[in-house]
Amino acid sequence: MSPPRWPTPRPSSRSLARKRSCARMRSAEISPAAAIRPDFSSHSHGFRPGRRAHDAVCEAQKYIQEGRRWVVDVDLEKFFDRVNHDVLMGRLARESRIRGCSDSSRRYLDAGIMANGVVVERHEGTPQGGPLSPLLGNVLLDEVDKEMRSRGHSFVRYADDLNVT
Contact status, residue 110 vs residue 122, Cβ threshold 8 Å: yes
**Mean per-residue pLDDT, 109-135:** 82
Contact status, residue 156 vs residue 43, Cβ threshold 8 Å: yes
Please tell me the pTM assigned to this model. Answer: 0.69
pLDDT at position 33, please? 46
- The predicted-structure confidence for 44-86, as pLDDT tens digits, reads as follows 988 887 888 999 999 999 999 999 989 899 988 899 889 999 9
Task: Give the C-alpha separation, 112 to 126, whole Å.
Answer: 10
Confidence of residue 153 (pLDDT cuts 50, 70, 90): very high
pLDDT at position 31, please? 52
Phi then psi for residue 60, to 5 deg, are -65, -40
pLDDT at position 16, please? 52
CA atoms within 13 Å, Cβ hemisphere of 151? 11
Confidence of residue 11 (pLDDT cuts 50, 70, 90): low
- The predicted-structure confidence for 125-143, as pLDDT tens digits, reads as follows 888 777 778 888 888 898 8
